[in-house]
Amino acid sequence: GENVEQHPSTLSVQEGDSAVIKCTYSDSASNYFPWYKQELGKRPQLIIDIRSNVGEKKDQRIAVTLNKTAKHFSLHITETQPEDSAVYFCAGPLGDDKIIFGKGTRLHILP
Partner 1 sequence: DSGVTQTPKHLITATGQRVTLRCSPRSGDLSVYWYQQSLDQGLQFLIQYYNGEERAKGNILERFSAQQFPDLHSELNLSSLELGDSALYFCASSVRGGDSTDTQYFGPGTRLTVL
16 vs 32, which CB is nearer to partner 1?
32
| Region 59-88 residues binding partner 1, contact defined as CB under 8 A | none
What is the Cα–Cα distance from 56 to 65, expressed in whole angstroms? Answer: 4
How many Cβ atoms from other residues are within 10 Å of residue 70's Cβ?
A: 8
Closest distance to partner 1 from the beta carbon of 103 (Å): 4
Is residue 21 involved in binding partner 1 (CB under 8 A)? Answer: no
CB under 8 A: which stretch of 16-24, 45-53, 56-64, 67-75 binds partner 1? 45-53
Q: Which of 24, 34, 72, 86 is in the footprint of partner 1 by CB under 8 A?
A: 34
46 vs 54, which CB is nearer to partner 1?
46
Angstrom distances, CA of residue 65 to CA of 3, 29, 52, 85: 19, 18, 11, 21
Closest distance to partner 1 from the beta carbon of 16 (Å): 27
Q: Alpha carbon 49 to chain centroid distance?
A: 9
φ, ψ for residue 71, nearest 5 deg: 55, 50
φ, ψ for residue 16, nearest 5 deg: 100, -20
Instruction: Name the site residues for partner 1 (rule: CB under 8 A).
Output: 29-32, 34, 36, 42-46, 49, 51, 89, 93-104
